[in-house]
Structure 1
């Protein structure tokens, strides 16, 4: 009986087993083929998805229409309360709080923008974004933001664009090209954003420009002047002239007005604008019969030492020194001026036109000549400077003027066509122009500003720093 049990044939499994086995093998083969043909899928994990979501949240944390504080300097309790009310949709309370904050600190452009946004609430608006380096250079960020805020305040007080007010979104790109590119992508995804004012540094504008171009979103930089921004895209503009104009004016002054025999240059190897201006200036000087010192000087160098560099310049016979710092290295430039001790005549780029230059440089920068596009004393008939001084309780500089001009160009374009592509078509037209803070604003086919530069000189004054920039006669 035992043998008969051992040799007895087993019955075949039910058909459902074969069906399940076939489906399992088929699904497994499909999964393996997909993984092999698309290796990136194999790297997708819960952790990477969480990281992606965190990255999106991080970007959203640096963009605000009034629901979060980006500028915490001189923060008032009323401004904090206004932001909290905005986040809750309590528009009337937000308006009251922002107004109270501006009574205490009238020089706060973020609060003025949030006030105007609160007045709009959830009503229809034309949305414009501005990207500034709050986290890396607060002074420059606020200078740019004041121009945007002033333009928004004026147009909304006058009834808006064809009856529709402007709402402004603010972003802090920290003058970081990678962060700026991500912010640009967020701006592009928001179909309500019709234009962007930004960015500050040329490196940053260059990183963001392809994204704006690809998404048909006009971007107007008030401060980026690098040569390679010219013609980078039909949606990319700027209200500051190409730095070739700056190089021309500075070289003319150095070789013709001052007749420098040899000019030393200290630039920043990490800055596109600084390197471009050095190259353009050098070409102009040489063509004018001048000479450039061979001693290298780089603000970004690890071993940067002004006390060691100045004697080398003098040994080469230099009698002039051109300072071309990145906007975030003004302190290094003033260190250079301090080490100079008046031995070489100082000239500088428009980047040096900051409060920080006067504050840190003091007597060491006295007499320094710099390039600029605008000064409040140049055109007394233009109401911008007086209106700005009244609004901000102080004198503004060229960055406020050129950012105001960027807004004026956008506003003029949106009046004719309130769409992304329509705006680009309007301001690209050969006959387009608008009155701005710095004069007539019109663009070349390259997107560059059609204008010239001027020279300013640092001289003693009754200002808070004891010095100021004054136009050269």
Structure 2
């Protein structure tokens, strides 16, 4: 078990009341919960409650994207009427062309019409009740694009969708349900580090490859030989943020805001503080934003009284409200750097002018790769720009599909050996996909900053740091 280092990011419920939802493609926030439609034949998976979290086309998981043709297509898929399902899914995409769930189900119906026992991969997203589903859709878009490209090239890989609710206990149950499906050769997921770490124990025991496109906790590097990721670990992010603070901003007195209940947040905090201390910086205060009644104004005032000259936000998705508090009460007085959990539309919409000049470390930004094939194809497919979660989910799916094709025998053990080989490589969204012995990916971070602009529809955009 030679593996990963990274800890956990919790997906969770954003409870910010948004008075306005601007334009900006799929920046829109939608409510979602898992909905099971009547099924009979088709690809009914498993038994019991966990089965309702899995679908190959016979269940609607994105309730916020309900559409008559889509629901009828799901019903047709469930009865095994794949030609009718294809017709209905195509009609649904005419009405809602940027719905990744429908595209995956359309691809699956085409594959099932062609072959009875196709090879399959799975993708796990988090769809907690009453929370934003934009992150799930970003991941599904990357996988759907990779699946479509493979199918257009003559290789059909069935994609099984799964929902873990952003809950580590449910993630483990979902992982076991996927492992019990013999045709599933690999899994894209999970979203947060906490859910990935919980599921990794199952995948490792069942010899099923998992490639996470979004889990960055350092401890994931030691989770097992079957655990990989296409996103750089927090060790790389901590170094990038420290470099920016010390070299670009010349700031050495830092306050770090974090969520003590999040593996991801703790992991990034530890990586950042270690790098700062090693290089002569000082973490004047570490402020836990998780306790109830958090007062951002008071916390920032206390930090300033201790001589703080810069702010680092390494909070997670469930504590986005608290991070936005800090951004607003700071009023552009102290420079701010942040982890990728702040790369969200709410930062632009709610942070607004107070977020201008804040710098965020992310793995990929479309404006740094405008001439690449992936951005051009994705823009044509989805009708707008995609972000790093889509790009690295695409990479995870491409890695699985390429690994399956390159394996001497397409089974789980051979796939793991192929991916772990130093000779493995695949062309990703921006650069070659290769894995370190730990299963990590050695990829540089890209720094973006908030500036006035119109691409997002909120009056502010994330753009590459000059």
TM-score, length basis structure 2: 0.86
Match of 1:66 among 47, 50, 57: 57
Larger radius of gyration: 1
Match of 2:442 among 450, 463, 467: 450
5+ long unaligned stretches in structure 2: 1-45
1:336-375, aligned counterparts within 5 Å? 336-375=326-365
Contact 2:378 2:385 in 1 (8 A): yes
- Distance in 2 (CA, whole Å) between partners of 1:56 and 1:82 is 22
Match of 1:274 among 252, 265, 273: 265
- Distance in 2 (CA, whole Å) between partners of 1:85 and 1:412 is 31
- Distance in 2 (CA, whole Å) between partners of 1:380 and 1:393 is 15
- Distance in 2 (CA, whole Å) between partners of 1:266 and 1:100 is 47
Correspondence for 2:42 = none
Residue 103 of structure 2 is aligned to residue 125 of structure 1: no
Contact 1:132 1:172 in 2 (8 A): yes
| Cα offset, 1:127, TM superposition | 0.6
Contact 2:245 2:252 in 1 (8 A): no
- Distance in 1 (CA, whole Å) between partners of 2:413 and 2:371 is 34
- Distance in 1 (CA, whole Å) between partners of 2:58 and 2:388 is 29
Match of 2:291 among 270, 283, 301: 301
3-state secondary structure, aligned to 1:61: helix
| Cα offset, 1:119, TM superposition | 1.2
| Cα offset, 1:268, TM superposition | 0.9
- Distance in 2 (CA, whole Å) between partners of 1:338 and 1:113 is 40
Match of 1:154 among 138, 141, 149: 149
Correspondence for 2:137 = 142
TM-score, length basis structure 1: 0.85
- Distance in 2 (CA, whole Å) between partners of 1:235 and 1:74 is 33
Correspondence for 1:78 = 69
- Structure with the largest fraction of helix: 1
Correspondence for 1:471 = 464
User: Deviation string for 1:166-220 (max 9, x for gaps)?
Assistant: 1101111121100000000001111010000000110111101011011110000
Residue 244 of structure 2 is aligned to residue 257 of structure 1: no
Contact 2:56 2:160 in 1 (8 A): yes
Residue 426 of structure 2 is aligned to residue 434 of structure 1: yes
| Cα offset, 1:233, TM superposition | 0.6
- Name the structure, 1 or 2, with higher relative contact order (CA <8 Å, separation 6+): 2
- Distance in 2 (CA, whole Å) between partners of 1:121 and 1:412 is 21
Using a 3 Å threshold, how does the CA distance of structure 1 residues 137 and 208 change in structure 2: closer, same or farther? farther
| Cα offset, 1:355, TM superposition | 2.3
- Distance in 2 (CA, whole Å) between partners of 1:226 and 1:115 is 34
Contact 1:85 1:93 in 2 (8 A): yes
Q: CA RMSD in A?
A: 1.4
Contact 1:373 1:438 in 2 (8 A): no
3-state secondary structure, aligned to 2:368: coil
Contact 1:201 1:327 in 2 (8 A): no
3-state secondary structure, aligned to 2:437: coil
Correspondence for 2:452 = 460
3-state secondary structure, aligned to 1:318: coil
Contact 2:357 2:449 in 1 (8 A): yes
Aligned residues: 414
Match of 1:239 among 218, 230, 237: 230
- Distance in 1 (CA, whole Å) between partners of 2:148 and 2:346 is 27
- Distance in 2 (CA, whole Å) between partners of 1:313 and 1:56 is 53
5+ long unaligned stretches in structure 1: 1-54
Q: Which runs of 4+ in 1 moved over 3 A?
A: none
- Distance in 2 (CA, whole Å) between partners of 1:142 and 1:256 is 36
Residue 100 of structure 2 is aligned to residue 105 of structure 1: no
Match of 2:212 among 196, 212, 221: 221
| Cα offset, 1:352, TM superposition | 1.4
